[in-house]
Amino acid sequence: QVQLVESGGGLAQAGDSLRLSCAASGLPDSSYNIGWFRQAPGKSRVFLTAIRGDSGATYYKDSVKGRFTISSDNAKNTVYLQMNSLKSEDTAVYFCAASRSWVARTANLYNYWGQGTQVTVSS
């Protein structure tokens, strides 16, 4: 049974940093890639970044390049999203998800999802 569990969200001030974690279990092999999405209230889920399970190659949406960094610790089966220089518009629920596609930039290409972690940035 595949499980993705996000953690690390919370309340931050504008300009702060947060690191989100996505602990994965039950994925059958390294062919799965992990993506991070976010969903603000009343908005659709938006792709942010992804990391390949086999090579660690990364891909970023232009709007978060330079501020967000995705990384993985294979020994811990955990993927991280380091978010720096947070802005109020980063307020959303953040989700990690697993896909065999690369680069999967739409939610429908992901097979497994975590429950999400809330990030709230106050200005």
- pLDDT in the model for residue 42: 95
Do residues 64 and 49 lie in contact, with contact meaning Cβ atoms separated by under 8 Å?
yes
Residue 88 in contact with residue 121, Cβ under 8 Å?
A: yes
Distance CA 70, CA 97 (A): 13
Round the average pLDDT of the chain to a whole number and report it.
Answer: 97
Residue 76 pLDDT > 90: yes
Cross-strand pairs, 73: 78
Give percent above pLDDT 90 in the chain.
96
Are 39 and 31 in contact by the 8 Å Cβ rule? The answer is: no
- Decide: helix, strand or coil at residue 41: coil
How much is the pLDDT for 90? Answer: 97
Counting other chains too, the contacts that 107-110 makes at CB distance below 8 Å and 24 or more residues apart are 107/37, 107/45, 107/47, 110/35
pLDDT for 72 equals 97
- The pLDDT-based confidence of 62 (bands split at 50, 70, 90) is very high
Q: Which amino acid is at 49?
A: T
Q: Quick one: pLDDT band at residue 28, thresholds 50, 70, 90?
A: confident
Residue 29 has pLDDT above 90, yes or no: no
Report the pLDDT averaged over residues 48-74.
Answer: 96
Give percent above pLDDT 70 in the chain: 100
